[in-house]
């Protein structure tokens, strides 16, 4: 019995000691000088960054989460970790709410501030209040193409358009060899199997923008209002990774997701034909679509109305644009300095270019100039 007691005593003391050691490791720290990715923007302070100190907190869209985390890391790499910028991907709605309640310094959102009333609140007005009477600007910063990834053996090129996609996603087109699909793909060997559709079961801005695309460009086939919650057919999976994994492992399936997820999982993507021939998903093609968008905001407020249908040749029409929603004026001086500096970095050509390997499209030149002007005008 004594050896037993000794054994258990030692065991529990050992466990206790281990725990204490971890507790003593209270001298943890943030990783400093984290490894720069190979294609990160180089050049020290020559890019004209002011690199102010301070803390910045932001919240919002999860679609831009990958982009903005990478950009923050690069910015800190350039500026020697002087500013602490936290971005929390809680969702566009939550981000806007926190912004106009003063909880964060800027927000990332997949849709611009609403100017009509919803749920008793006009977002644009509330944001103006927060910015002490000055309007809040929607600055498009991250362009996220929406890929329609599919899993079909033997079909390496699939051409679809918004109308056919609407039919697939609302269940009216049930098999792969349906006439409507075959018409767009005369050369492809389409099987007679049932189409398995996957969608995002968690509320998501990607769903919202996909349904926006379908309802605006789908010739009335998609009858529901665009919404964060899916209203079509199919099987819902949790998060983009769930959807991507499902498409990877299920034959004869199709779904919508951010470009980066389709890329990372090596999925085949459909080419979209919006009236001028099939267009493959490339950064450039998406940029052309952004060029076609009309600016519905005034002055430096660059809220966009995207053109989903009848696009110019070579434009890929399914995309979502994430805005950084900032106060044009009225944010505390020290925070404004960081916001301005950070967004200048964000809107530089190198940074935008570096986003492509993450699955985002760089802002095309014309739009980028407008954004840079707007950033410069922040006070």
Nearer to another protein (CB atom), residue 15 or residue 182: 15
Q: Does 29 bind another protein (CB under 8 A)?
A: yes
Q: Which of 249, 369, 373, 379 binds another protein (CB under 8 A)?
A: 249
Nearer to another protein (CB atom), residue 97 or residue 126: 97
Q: Does 38 bind another protein (CB under 8 A)?
A: no
> b or e along 237-250 (b: 16 or more beta carbons within 10 Å of the residue's beta carbon)?
beebebbbbbbeee
CB of 38 to another protein, least distance (A): 11
Secondary structure of residue 266 in the 3-state scheme: coil
Q: Which of 3, 23, 116, 192 binds another protein (CB under 8 A)?
A: 23
Strand partners, 60: 108
Site for another protein in 289-348 (CB under 8 A): none
Among 81-89, 130-138, 160-168, 307-315, the segment contacting another protein (CB under 8 A): 81-89
Q: Does 144 bind another protein (CB under 8 A)?
A: no
Among 109-117, 213-221, 232-240, 334-342, the segment contacting another protein (CB under 8 A): 232-240
CA dist 340 and 335 (Å) reads 9
Nearer to another protein (CB atom), residue 12 or residue 276: 12
CA dist 190 and 315 (Å) reads 26
Contacts of residue 203, Cβ cutoff 8 Å, sequence gap at least 6: 91, 228, 229
Nearer to another protein (CB atom), residue 106 or residue 261: 261
CB of 146 to another protein, least distance (A): 17
CA dist 129 and 113 (Å) reads 13
Secondary structure of residue 354 in the 3-state scheme: helix
Q: Does 35 bind another protein (CB under 8 A)?
A: yes
CA dist 243 and 148 (Å) reads 11
Site for another protein in 145-174 (CB under 8 A): 171
Q: Which of 51, 246, 281, 378 binds another protein (CB under 8 A)?
A: 246
Asked if 325 contacts 96 with a C-beta cutoff of 8 angstroms, the reply is yes
Q: Does 39 bind another protein (CB under 8 A)?
A: no
Q: Residue 267's closest CA among 278, 279, 283, 251?
A: 251
CA dist 169 and 172 (Å) reads 8
163: number of Cβ within 10 Å:
20
From residue 323, alpha-carbon distances to 31, 338, 343 in Å are 29, 17, 11
Among 5-13, 108-116, 155-163, 282-290, the segment contacting another protein (CB under 8 A): 5-13
Q: Which of 72, 83, 152, 221 binds another protein (CB under 8 A)?
A: 72
CB of 369 to another protein, least distance (A): 28
Site for another protein in 174-193 (CB under 8 A): none
Q: Does 117 bind another protein (CB under 8 A)?
A: no
Contacts of residue 364, Cβ cutoff 8 Å, sequence gap at least 6: 287, 288, 290, 291
Q: Which of 45, 115, 175, 241 binds another protein (CB under 8 A)?
A: 241
Nearer to another protein (CB atom), residue 26 or residue 298: 26
CB of 357 to another protein, least distance (A): 9
CA dist 19 and 313 (Å) reads 63
Among 85-93, 157-165, 304-312, 361-369, the segment contacting another protein (CB under 8 A): 85-93
The label of the residue with tokens 């600016």 reads: 295
Nearer to another protein (CB atom), residue 34 or residue 373: 34
Asked if 289 contacts 272 with a C-beta cutoff of 8 angstroms, the reply is no
């Amino acid at each position: 019995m004594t050896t037993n007691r000794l054994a258990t005593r030692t065991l529990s003391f050992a466990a206790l000691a281990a725990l204490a050691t971890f507790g003593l490791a209270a001298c943890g720290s943030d990783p400093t000088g984290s490894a720069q990715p190979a294609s990160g923007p180089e050049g020290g302070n020559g890019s004209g960054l002011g690199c102010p100190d301070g803390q910045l907190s932001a919240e919002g869209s999860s679609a831009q989460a990958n982009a903005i985390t990478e950009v923050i890391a690069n910015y800190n790499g350039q500026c020697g970790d002087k500013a602490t910028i936290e971005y929390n991907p809680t969702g566009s709605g939550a981000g806007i709410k926190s912004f106009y309640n003063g909880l964060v310094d800027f927000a990332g959102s997949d849709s611009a501030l609403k100017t009509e009333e919803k749920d008793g609140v006009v977002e644009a007005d509330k944001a103006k209040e927060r910015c002490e009477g000055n309007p809040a600007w929607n600055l498009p910063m991250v362009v996220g193409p929406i890929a329609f990834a599919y899993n079909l053996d033997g079909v390496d090129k699939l051409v679809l358009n918004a109308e056919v996609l609407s039919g697939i996603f609302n269940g009216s087109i049930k098999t792969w060899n349906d006439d409507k699909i075959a018409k767009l793909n005369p050369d492809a060997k389409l099987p007679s199997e049932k189409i398995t559709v996957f969608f995002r079961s968690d509320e998501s801005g990607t769903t919202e923008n996909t349904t926006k695309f379908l309802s605006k460009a789908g010739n009335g086939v998609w009858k529901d209002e665009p919404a964060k919650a899916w209203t079509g057919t199919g099987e819902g999976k949790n998060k983009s990774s769930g959807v991507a994994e499902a498409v990877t492992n299920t034959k004869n399936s199709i779904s919508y997701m951010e470009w980066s997820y389709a890329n990372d999982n090596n999925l085949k993507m459909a080419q979209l034909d919006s009236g001028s021939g099939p267009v493959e998903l490339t950064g450039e093609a998406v940029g052309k679509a952004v060029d076609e968008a009309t600016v519905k905001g005034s002055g430096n407020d660059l809220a966009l109305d995207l053109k989903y249908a009848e696009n110019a040749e070579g434009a890929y029409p399914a995309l979502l644009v994430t805005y950084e929603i900032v106060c044009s004026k009225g944010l505390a001086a020290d925070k404004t300095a960081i916001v301005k500096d950070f967004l200048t970095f964000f809107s530089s050509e190198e940074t935008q270019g570096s986003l492509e390997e993450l699955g985002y499209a760089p802002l095309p030149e014309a739009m980028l100039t407008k954004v840079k002007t707007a950033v410069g005008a922040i006070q």
